[in-house]
Amino acid sequence: DAGVTQSPTHLIKTRGQQVTLRCSPISGHKSVSWYQQVLGQGPQFIFQYYEKEERGRGNFPDRFSARQFPNYSSELNVNALLLGDSALYLCASSVGRGKGGANVLTFGAGSRLTVL
């Protein structure tokens, strides 16, 4: 079974540019969440989408946006990139929104974004 897949794995952008990161959840998983992990810190929640609707948003500026498609895949967009946006962006999927059991998050390997 394919796990959570993310693309691209690595990318380099310059300040002010825009970036789109993609995520394909595990088959049958309807919830996708995005996290940002800055070097030396734990992952920080950005968004959750469930059944194609935004169900939660972390403390990130409006430059960050996301969407979920009918096939439950998702995109994370970041506009007007800043140096501080350099991080590992993790996507996670789960069957539903609850806690425990099948709803434990399964993470992808991440997209490493470097902003110069």
The site for another protein, by CB under 8 A, has a size of 31
23 part of the interface to another protein, by CB under 8 A: no
Closer CB to another protein, residue 75 or residue 79?
A: 75
Q: How far apart are CA 36 and CA 15, in angstroms?
A: 18
Member of 26, 66, 76, 90 binding another protein (CB under 8 A): 90
Member of 1, 2, 41, 70 binding another protein (CB under 8 A): 41
Per-residue exposure over 56-84, b if at least 16 CB sit within 10 Å of its own CB, e if not: eeeebeeebbbebeeebbbbbebeebeee
104: three-class secondary structure by DSSP: coil
111 part of the interface to another protein, by CB under 8 A: no
